[in-house]
Amino acid sequence: MIYPWQGQLFGHVMQQRDCLPSAWLLQGPAGIGKRDFAWHLAQALLCEGGVGDAAPCGQCAPCHWFKAGHHPDFRSLGLEEEAPSETSEEAQPPRKPSGQITVDAVRALEPFLQAGTHRQGLRVVVIEPAEALNLHAANALLKTLEEPPAGTLFLLVTPVHARLPATLRSRCRKLPFPIPSREKARSWLSAQGVEDPDLLLALAGGAPLFALRLANQEGSARPQWLKQLADPAISLPQLSESTTKWPVSEWLGWLQRWVHDLLSQKLVHQACFHVDLASLSARQAERADLAVLLAWERQIRAARRLENHPLNPRLLAESLLLPALSMR
């Protein structure tokens, strides 16, 4: 499926189906539906019952194969699971994604790319998240794109295209995904039964799918946790202990948006994300030094690049929450 804010972009892409590049780079913020768009586009390009730039018919054999997950001319690459240890499987906890797409996964595509297509049409490969390609995997993919197999389209999906090697980006046609208009996003969220879509869109930076996920979490501890940052009665060890109850990506996202709000309050007297706590961020911004805020924002940005790597959550929380103490 595609979302209401993607219809025009989908039509634009489908009009180019007779002169497709070897690779498209779908780039834009997280939470706006790029992955769903890529899969919908793949199905539409493999569909044999659609007409012109229409959506996939959903009725032909290729559409049925695609929906069942075994279309012979489609492959997808994503995050791999960590390899099991030497202990018995029964003794192991559930395996987690390894955080990267490996060179072996890219090389495993070679038989698929070298064989003829089953329907004498197109072959499509979706890679998501493309920034998870490690260096060797990116180099292996680059070699493929330098001499692309005939009739093959790669769809690379990423919210952070700058993390891809410049050489790999240069082999792709860019397909930017803008944040949808607030009217379309608000209308869609309301149709999903979301209350107070304006607050959630602010928290999500305008990304409607991210806002929908937040709607399912909100009852959450976000407001209480942010109030703790400004509470002088709560020590740093207490604050870091309560922080580690949530996944790193969760509280780190709250904190990054909070620091952006502090900077915005400092410079233009307006909160952008946590608008329900604007009065609190305004008070904290008054006590904050601009240089400290800028250094704090850089520190958080660096930490976000490592959030999926093995870290000591308690030490990470203490180091990133320390600047908040000077603003109480």
Digit-coded pLDDT (tens) for 243-276: 998 888 889 999 999 999 999 999 999 999 999 9
Percent of the chain with pLDDT over 70: 91
CA dist., res. 299 & res. 177, Å (int): 28
Instruction: Report the percent of the chain where pLDDT is more than 90.
Output: 75
- Measured CA distances, 84 to 78, 95, 98, 105, 309 (Å): 18, 7, 11, 17, 17
Same domain, 311 and 207: no
Judge if 158 and 13 occupy the same domain: yes
pTM of the entire structure?
0.82
Query: Which pair of structure tokens corresponds to residue 269?
Result: 């007297």
Number of domains present in the structure of the chain: 3
Tens of pLDDT along 115-146?
888 887 899 999 999 999 999 999 999 999 99
Residue after which a domain boundary falls, among 122, 146, 178: 178
pLDDT in tens, 26-71: 999 999 999 999 999 999 999 998 766 678 999 999 999 999 999 9
Let me know if residue 119 belongs to a domain. Answer: yes
**Helix, strand, coil proportions of the chain in percent (round to 5)?**
55, 10, 35
Where on the phi/psi map is residue 102: left (φ > 0), alpha (ψ -120 to 50), or beta? Answer: beta
Mean per-residue pLDDT for 307-328? 86
In a domain, 91, yes or no: no
Which of 311, 300, 318, 302 is CA-nearest to residue 255?
A: 300
Asked whether the predicted pLDDT for residue 91 surpasses 90, the reply is no
* DSSP type of residue 322: G
**Is residue 82 pLDDT above 50, yes or no?**
no
Predicted pLDDT at 325: 92
Residue 98 has pLDDT above 70, yes or no: no
Pair 27, 100 in one domain: yes
Rounded to whole angstroms, the Cα distance separating 46 from 36 reads 16
Query: Which residues make Cβ contacts (< 8 Å) with residue 207, sequence separation at least 6?
Result: 29, 30, 31, 32, 179, 201
- Give the pLDDT score at 218: 54
Would you say 149 and 178 are in contact if contact means Cβ atoms under 8 Å apart?
no
- What is the pLDDT confidence band of residue 92, given thresholds at 50, 70 and 90? very low
242 with 133, same domain: the answer is no
pLDDT for the residue numbered 99: 75
For 173, the token pair is 């046609």
| CATH number reported for the structural domain that contains residue 120 in this entry | 3.40.50.300
CA atoms within 13 A on the CB side of 60: 16
pLDDT digits (tens, 9 = 90+) for 192-229: 999 899 999 999 999 999 999 888 875 568 899 999 99
CB of 258 closer than 8 Å to CB of 281: yes
Of the three residues 159, 178, 197, the one that is the final residue of a domain is 178
Q: How far apart are CA 196 and CA 188, in angstroms?
A: 12
Please report the pLDDT score of residue 168 as a whole number. 97
pLDDT of residue 308: 66
Residue 99's contacts (CB-CB under 8 Å, 6 or more residues apart) are: 79, 132, 308, 309
Q: In the prediction, which pLDDT does 117 show? A: 86
Say whether both 252 and 311 belong to one domain: yes
190, 200: one domain: yes
**Domain residue limits at 48:** 4-80+96-178
